[in-house]
Amino acid sequence: MHLGLPESMRDCEYSQINTRTSTPMEIPYKKKTPKKRKWESFPGRNKFYCNGRIMMARQTGVFYLTLVLILVTCGLFFTFDCPFLALELSPAIPVVGGALFLFVLGTLLRTSFSDPGVLPRATADETADLERQIAPATDRPPRTREVVINGQTVKLKYCFTCKIFRPPRTSHCSLCDNCVERFDHHCPWVGNCVGRRNYRFFYMFILSLSFLTIFIFAFVITHVIIRSHRTGFLNALKDTLLSLTPGATVLEVVVCFFSVWSIVGLSGFHTYLISSNQTTNEDIKGSWSSKRGKDNYNPYSHGNIFTNCCVGMCWSDRLVLTMTHLRQQIGCSGRDDHLPRTSGDSWIVSAFWSLAAA
Number of CB atoms found within 10 A of residue 116's CB: 31
Q: What is the C-alpha separation between 277 and 272, in angstroms, rounded? A: 8
Q: What is the C-alpha separation between 335 and 322, in angstroms, rounded? A: 8
From 169, 147, 199, select the one nearest 311 (Cα to Cα).
199
Contact between 18 and 306 under an 8 Å Cβ cutoff? The reply is: no
Number of CB atoms found within 10 A of residue 18's CB: 8
Q: What are phi and psi of 160, to 5 degrees?
A: -75, -15
Q: Please give the DSSP secondary-structure letter assigned to residue 86.
A: H
* Rg over CA atoms, the chain: 32
Q: Please give the DSSP secondary-structure letter assigned to residue 344.
A: T
Q: What is the C-alpha separation between 266 and 326, in angstroms, rounded? A: 32
Q: Which residues contact 117 (CB under 8 A, 6 or more apart)?
A: 180, 181, 182, 183, 193, 195, 196, 197, 198, 320, 322
Q: Which residues contact 309 (CB under 8 A, 6 or more apart)?
A: 274, 275
**E-strand stretches of 121-214:** 144-149, 152-159, 164-165, 171-173, 178-180, 185-187, 192-194
Question: How far apart, in Å, are the Cα atoms of 20 and each of 8, 25, 251?
Answer: 20, 15, 84
12 catalytic? Reply is no
Choosing from 162, 179, 187, 193, the catalytic residue is 187
Name residue 54's beta-bridge partners.
49
Count CA atoms within 13 Å of residue 267 on its CB side: 18
The residues that are catalytic are 187
